Amino acid sequence: MIVLGIETSCDETGVALYCSARGLLGHQLYSQVEMHAEYGGVVPELASRDHVRKLLPLLESLLSQCELTRADIEGVAYTAGPGLVGALLVGASVGRSIAWSLGVPAVGVHHMEGHLLAPMLEAEQPAFPFLALLVSGGHSQLFEVDGVGRYKLLGETLDDAAGEAFDKTAKLLGLGYPGGPVLAQCAERGDPTRFRFPRPMTDRPGLDFSFSGLKTFALNTAQKNGIDTQTQADISRSFQDAVVDTFAIKCRRALRQTGIPRLVMAGGVSANKALRARLAELAEEEGAQIFYPRTEFCTDNGAMIAYAGCQRLMAGEHEPAAIGATPRWPMDELSAV
């Protein structure tokens, strides 16, 4: 089955073709980062309009790349939520319309399920069950995964997600947009011993996270010491180290509590080199395996939507001939496959 995947949940337009027998056939991605950088963050209306401009040309380019036509598409998967409602409706409208015109089934995919299953696009795939750490601009969650759609939430952020905290801290330090990659790059020049940031909620039982306090700690540190170039780097390093250590402590706790020796990390923040290195060390220490998607599939992309949608379409799921989006969509509402 050849499935078209469409991702338009926020500020990246992604399309992909996935074949149940041959794997990923191809994918294309357009990022709106340059456009939103002028405003220091995503402008929802501009994001929606840009998806309208870019989505169909990207699809035509993808079909040409894969030497296929629309008639070869046997199913359509589109991100139905969570995300920006206007942006979601662009992908849902195009995806549902293509499916209707071709007479093929369509399915709305949960954006975070796409991230969670992104490592399945790699040659080495995790076996079920596994633990999944989802870290992005809007989510920081830890799940026990027993199969597609079988997710048990073990812990989540009680305030800011890690990616959001990265962006806000980068902004207060004057590092620009997008904050996460810029702060991580700046941290490479930082002195890890100059400042000591707290490791939130690691001195109590449980697997929940909290990152808003780190943002406040960074602000207070900057106000006390000023923000010259070296101080920017030192604060960035200490902030990043605190986030990385917090995730490592909670993941170690989850591995020991569940006895599951496989850990997946996915989402935009999973591209962070320091976090990848620390969790790789943790996995080796705990005798566990760790799995990541390749860097290009850490951020939003159509390939993860095509894969997740293919699993659900092959299980017989499909949407009625209506166009809809779910900007807020808990993963525990998903059906098991």
Kindly report, residue by residue over 80-127, the tens digit of the pLDDT. 999 999 999 999 999 999 999 999 999 999 999 999 999 999 999 999
**Arithmetic mean of pLDDT over the chain:** 96
When pLDDT is averaged across residues 61-71 and rounded to a whole number, the result is 98
Q: Is 180 annotated as a binding residue?
A: yes
Q: Is 190 annotated as a binding residue?
A: no
pLDDT at 176: 87
Measure the CA–CA gap between 14 and 188, rounded to whole angstroms.
Answer: 30
Measure the CA–CA gap between 131 and 141, rounded to whole angstroms.
Answer: 10
Q: 190 — phi, psi (to 5°)?
A: -85, 155
Start-to-end C-alpha separation, the chain = 17
The pLDDT > 70 percentage for the chain reads 100
pLDDT at 293: 96
The contacts of residue 295 (CB under 8 Å, 6+ apart) are: 271
C-alpha dihedral over 36, 38, 40, 42, to 10 degrees? -20
Sheet of strand 289-291, all strands in order from the earlier edge strand to the far edge: 150-156, 140-147, 130-135, 262-266, 289-291
Measure the CA–CA gap between 274 and 135, rounded to whole angstroms.
Answer: 14
Q: Is 33 annotated as a binding residue?
A: no
Residue 44's H or E segment, with its range, is helix 44-66
Q: How many CA atoms lie within 13 A of 41 on its CB side?
A: 9
Under the banding of pLDDT at 50, 70 and 90, the label for residue 53 is: very high
- Tell me which DSSP letter residue 159 carries: S
Q: Determine how many CB atoms are found less than 10 A away from the CB of residue 319.
A: 19
Polymer length in residues for the chain: 337
Q: Is 115 annotated as a binding residue?
A: yes
Lowest model confidence (mean pLDDT) among 44-48, 221-225, 331-335: 331-335
pLDDT at 213: 94
Q: Is 139 annotated as a binding residue?
A: no
Measure the CA–CA gap between 288 and 179, rounded to whole angstroms.
Answer: 31
Nearest to 275 by CA among 197, 194, 181: 181
Please say whether the beta carbons of 291 and 124 come within 8 A: yes
Under the banding of pLDDT at 50, 70 and 90, the label for residue 137 is: confident
The pLDDT > 90 percentage for the chain reads 94
Q: Are strands 106-110 and 75-81 parallel, antiparallel or unpaired?
A: parallel
Q: Is 272 annotated as a binding residue?
A: yes
pLDDT at 178: 87
When pLDDT is averaged across residues 147-167 and rounded to a whole number, the result is 95
- CATH H-level superfamily of 126-291: ATPase, nucleotide binding domain (3.30.420.40)
β-sheet bridge partners, residue 209: 157
Q: Is 167 annotated as a binding residue?
A: yes
Q: Is 134 annotated as a binding residue?
A: yes
pLDDT at 107: 98
Peptide bond before 178: cis, by omega within 30 degrees of 0?
yes
* pLDDT of 306 strictly over 90: yes
Please say whether the beta carbons of 112 and 330 come within 8 A: no
Q: Is 174 annotated as a binding residue?
A: no
Where do runs of H (alpha helix) occur along 154-210?
A: 162-172, 179-187
pLDDT at 177: 86
Q: Is 135 annotated as a binding residue?
A: yes
Single-letter residue type at 224: K
Lowest model confidence (mean pLDDT) among 171-175, 176-180, 240-244, 303-307: 176-180
The contacts of residue 136 (CB under 8 Å, 6+ apart) are: 112, 115, 161, 162, 163, 267, 268, 269
Measure the CA–CA gap between 47 and 101, rounded to whole angstroms.
Answer: 26
pLDDT at 99: 98
Measure the CA–CA gap between 51 and 97, rounded to whole angstroms.
Answer: 15
Measure the CA–CA gap between 297 and 204, rounded to whole angstroms.
Answer: 34
* pLDDT of 140 strictly over 90: yes
Identify the CATH number of the domain defined by range 1-115+298-331. Answer: 3.30.420.40
Nearest to 156 by CA among 135, 140, 173: 140
Measure the CA–CA gap between 113 and 106, rounded to whole angstroms.
Answer: 16
Q: Is 191 annotated as a binding residue?
A: no
Query: In which residue are the tokens 């807020």 written?
Result: 328
Domain edges within the chain: 1-115+298-331, 126-291
